[in-house]
């Protein structure tokens, strides 16, 4: 259960007077969510989701909240922040910045088929296109600078094998400079639990709180690393092809992007291996239960390294 | 059938390349609509409605299109214009300005019960509140100035009885100045066919093309004149009370507004009687079939006049 900040119907009703969304009918905590408190809210005017931000500050929020508004206005199925009578998209509730967004129907697809991967690839490409005109900027806080700094903190805690692998991967990634790859606003965390499906179609992309400006292909690699793996953690060729083809149909990949793909898959695996190692070795108080095993991400990384090595041998 | 401007799937697919809404799956003409051409559009990303404006120009559209975007952003269940990749909310299609909006589920309620009237009253009040911060202005084009000018054109065509009634009502309305009544953005045409219901709740307010800045109570009177009549064209007290109470709960009516209510009911009836008389006596080519019988509106007006006279006698 992830309701860190309890809200009563009375408290919410008072808060909703700042909005034109009708009268509160029902309020229900949402168990999912590690970083924020989420409630399902039903009013006389429809269904909404209330988010109380447990860590993000009012100064940090506009990038994320306005991004969702921008993408939703362009037809991307993502939560649409509701503005208050004073036109603001968030306001304090129980001492936390809080935001009311539109409710999205559908459920995550835990066992995606190639069709699901294609649908996600297409919507991700549309989101990348729609993001082009987004005026705010935020350098992806989980990019190369972050993983180098975090790896430095981690090194003393790692076993020799992991330390060597991490060091070697950092060296490898530093060899590649991504200045020629198309950049833009990325979701940054488009795992299966952040995509809703309804009747076979993508009905929602959620959780934009790892979004930022970065290489677009990095976003696609993060997505592939979660959507296109088989039970052994190896890339499933059919699902990966479905994802890439559908993306390419909407935003054609350049020759440079095709060449960079194996490197970006490794970069995406590295990013999540590093963050999971960090959460594992530096658990935040009260959050131990949420720390996910870093081994899964390490396996993805080593599988990509092995696959690239096989590919390289073909060229020799 | 009101598809004045046919659009083929090929034409629409080409037009949709300016958007991030996915690939066209289905296109279907909508029979309703007298002023514009409407299509139901299904893409891989969801359902939308395409409107081609047959009369409104690109210069006139921003007031209406931005109003819908503003209200939708504030949680009012109205069509939400989708922005193109260039951030514009409408663009030409087949030589007409055209707009893609979100699809709203639900159906109109032709036989409203008091609960339906209450639901409409509450949402209308919320829309009036949400409209407060709308920055654009457009003086209601169907206000007193318009009905006086139109009545002047109509007079020579009317039978003596209608001419006398119209003249007398213009005189009566001119006695009342509405400067003290709260003003704002009004829908201006919230008849039963412009409100969708789903599972007993208002799921959509549509057709904002008579919106403008005017007295808010005038909007409520227009609504009451369509939602709260019995089979004889007399006000149904129960439905009218439901409408007013629910509205008042959200935006409390002032003492001046309560006093002005009978006058505003007559003004609202006059406005539609005049426009129907005009459409009847000056039919536009090819639109004869749409002209509605003005007698219905005249009956509402005379019923309000009689009711007010009865009320006045009580005070003597």
Residue A2 lies in a domain: no
Binned at pLDDT 50, 70 and 90, residue B286 comes out as low
- Give yes or no: residues A77 and A124 share one domain: no
- Give yes or no: residues A238 and A301 share one domain: yes
Q: Which is higher by pLDDT, B180 or A244?
A: A244
Domain final residue, candidates B102, B130, B153:
B102
Residue B108 lies in a domain: no
- Contact between A244 and A220 under an 8 Å Cβ cutoff? The reply is yes
Residue A134 lies in a domain: yes
Radius of gyration of chain A (CA): 20
- Contacts of A5 by beta carbon, 8 Å cutoff, 6+ apart: A37, A52, A54, A94, A95, A96
Paired sense of beta strands B96-102 and B91-93, if any: antiparallel
- In this structure, the dihedral spanned by the alpha carbons of residues B301, B306, B308 and B314, taken in order and rounded to 10 degrees, is -170
A102 three-class SS: strand
Residue A261 lies in a domain: yes
- Contacts of A141 by beta carbon, 8 Å cutoff, 6+ apart: A210, A212
Reply yes or no on whether the pLDDT at A2 is more than 90: no
Reply yes or no on whether the pLDDT at A83 is more than 70: yes
ipTM of the prediction? 0.92
Number of domains chain B contains = 2
**Cβ density class A241-270: b for 16+ within 10 Å, e for less:** bbbbebbbebbebeeebeebbbbbbbbbbb
- Give yes or no: residues A143 and A77 share one domain: no
Which pLDDT belongs to residue B251? 98
Instruction: Tell me the pLDDT tens digit for each residue of B177-207.
Output: 777 899 999 999 999 999 999 999 999 999 9
Residue B316 lies in a domain: no
Angle at which helices A61-73 and A114-131 cross, to 10°: 110
- Give yes or no: residues B119 and B253 share one domain: yes
Nearest CA in chain A to B131: A85
Of the residues A75, A79, A205, the best mutation for testing chain B's interface (the one with the most B CB atoms within 10 Å of its CB) is A75
Instruction: Tell me the pLDDT tens digit for each residue of B8-55.
Output: 999 999 999 999 999 999 999 998 777 899 999 999 999 999 999 999
Q: Which of A82, A126, A132 sits opposite B73 (nearest CB)?
A: A82
Dist. CA A157–CA A278, nearest whole Å: 10
Dist. CA A24–CA B226, nearest whole Å: 28
- Contacts of B216 by beta carbon, 8 Å cutoff, 6+ apart: B128, B181, B182, B183, B184, B186, B251
Binned at pLDDT 50, 70 and 90, residue A1 comes out as very low
Domain final residue, candidates A55, A72, A102:
A102
Paired sense of beta strands A183-186 and A195-198, if any: unpaired
Residue B264 lies in a domain: yes
CATH code of the domain in which A15 resides: 3.30.200.20
- Give yes or no: residues A129 and A235 share one domain: yes
Nearest C-alpha of chain A: how many angstroms from B2? 26
- Give yes or no: residues B90 and B156 share one domain: no
Q: Is A45 within 8 Å of B19 when comparing Cβ atoms?
A: no
Residue B3 lies in a domain: no
- Contact between A21 and A46 under an 8 Å Cβ cutoff? The reply is yes
The pLDDT of B210-238, averaged and rounded, is: 94
Reply yes or no on whether the pLDDT at B100 is more than 90: yes
- Contact between A40 and A47 under an 8 Å Cβ cutoff? The reply is yes
The pLDDT of B243-269, averaged and rounded, is: 96
Instruction: Tell me the pLDDT tens digit for each residue of A88-98.
Output: 999 999 999 99
Q: What angle do CA A161, A164, A169 make, to 5 degrees?
A: 125
Reply yes or no on whether the pLDDT at A24 is more than 80: yes
- Contact between B79 and B204 under an 8 Å Cβ cutoff? The reply is yes
Q: What percent of chain A has pLDDT over 70?
A: 96
- Give yes or no: residues B142 and B192 share one domain: yes
- Give yes or no: residues B74 and B223 share one domain: no
Which pLDDT belongs to residue A87? 97
Which chain A residues have a beta carbon less than 8 Å from that of B132? 85
Residue A75 lies in a domain: yes
- Give yes or no: residues B157 and B244 share one domain: yes
Q: Which is higher by pLDDT, A35 or B89?
A: B89
Reply yes or no on whether the pLDDT at B232 is more than 90: no
Which chain B residues have a beta carbon less than 8 Å from that of A126? 20-22, 45
Q: What are the tokens at B235?
A: 């006000």
Of the residues B26, B44, B99, B101, the best mutation for testing chain A's interface (the one with the most A CB atoms within 10 Å of its CB) is B44
Average pLDDT, chain B: 93
- Give yes or no: residues A144 and A23 share one domain: no
Question: Among B83-97, B219-233, B240-254, which is the least confidently predicted range?
Answer: B219-233
Q: Which of A48, A69, A126 sits opposite B22 (nearest CB)?
A: A126
User: What single string gives the DSSP state of each residue in B184-224?
Assistant: EEE-S---GGGEEEETTEEEEE---TT-EEEEHHHHHHHHH
In terms of residue numbers, what domain contains A142? 114-311
- Give yes or no: residues B181 and B283 share one domain: yes
Instruction: Tell me the pLDDT tens digit for each residue of B152-168.
Output: 999 999 999 999 999 99
Domain final residue, candidates B44, B71, B102:
B102
Binned at pLDDT 50, 70 and 90, residue A231 comes out as confident
Instruction: Tell me the pLDDT tens digit for each residue of A25-68.
Output: 999 999 877 789 999 999 999 999 999 999 999 999 999 999 99
- Give yes or no: residues A128 and A264 share one domain: yes
Which chain B residues have a beta carbon less than 8 Å from that of A44? 119, 122, 201
Q: Which of A86, A129, A201 sits opposite B85 (nearest CB)?
A: A129
Reply yes or no on whether the pLDDT at A184 is more than 60: yes
CATH code of the domain in which B199 resides: 3.90.1200.10
Which pLDDT belongs to residue B1? 45
Which pLDDT belongs to residue B140? 94
- In this structure, the dihedral spanned by the alpha carbons of residues A179, A180, A183 and A186, taken in order and rounded to 10 degrees, is -80
Which pLDDT belongs to residue B183? 96
Residue A243, H or E segment:
helix A237-250
């Amino acid at each position: 259960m992830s309701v860190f900040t309890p809200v009563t119907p009375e408290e919410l009703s008072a808060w909703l007077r700042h909005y034109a969304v009708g009268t509160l009918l029902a309020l229900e905590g949402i168990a999912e969510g590690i970083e924020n408190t989420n409630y399902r809210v039903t009013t006389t005017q429809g269904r909404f989701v209330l988010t109380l931000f447990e860590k993000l500050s009012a100064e940090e929020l506009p990038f994320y909240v306005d991004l969702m508004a921008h993408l939703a206005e362009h037809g991307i199925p993502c939560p649409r922040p509701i503005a208050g009578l004073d036109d603001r998209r968030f306001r304090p509730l129980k001492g936390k910045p809080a935001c009311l967004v539109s409710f999205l129907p559908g459920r995550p697809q835990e066992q995606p088929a190639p069709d699901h991967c294609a649908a996600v690839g297409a919507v991700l490409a549309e989101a990348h296109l729609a993001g082009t005109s987004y005026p705010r900027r935020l350098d992806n806080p989980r990019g190369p600078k972050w993983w180098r700094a975090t790896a430095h903190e981690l090194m003393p805690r790692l076993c020799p094998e992991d330390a060597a692998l991490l060091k070697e991967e950092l060296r490898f990634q530093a060899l590649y400079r991504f200045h020629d790859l198309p950049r833009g606003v990325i979701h940054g965390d488009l795992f299966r639990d952040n995509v809703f499906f309804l009747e076979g179609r993508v009905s929602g992309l959620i959780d934009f709180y790892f979004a930022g400006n970065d290489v677009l292909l990095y976003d696609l690699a993060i997505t592939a690393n979660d959507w296109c793996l088989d039970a052994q953690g190896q890339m499933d060729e059919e699902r990966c092809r479905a994802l890439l083809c559908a993306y390419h149909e909407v935003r054609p990949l350049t020759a440079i992007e095709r060449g960079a793909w194996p490197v970006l898959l490794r970069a995406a695996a590295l990013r999540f291996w590093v963050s999971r190692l960090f959460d594992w070795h530096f658990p935040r108080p009260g959050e131990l239960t949420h720390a996910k095993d870093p081994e899964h991400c390490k396996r993805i990384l080593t599988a990509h390294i092995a696959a690239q090595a096989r590919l390289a041998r073909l060229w020799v």
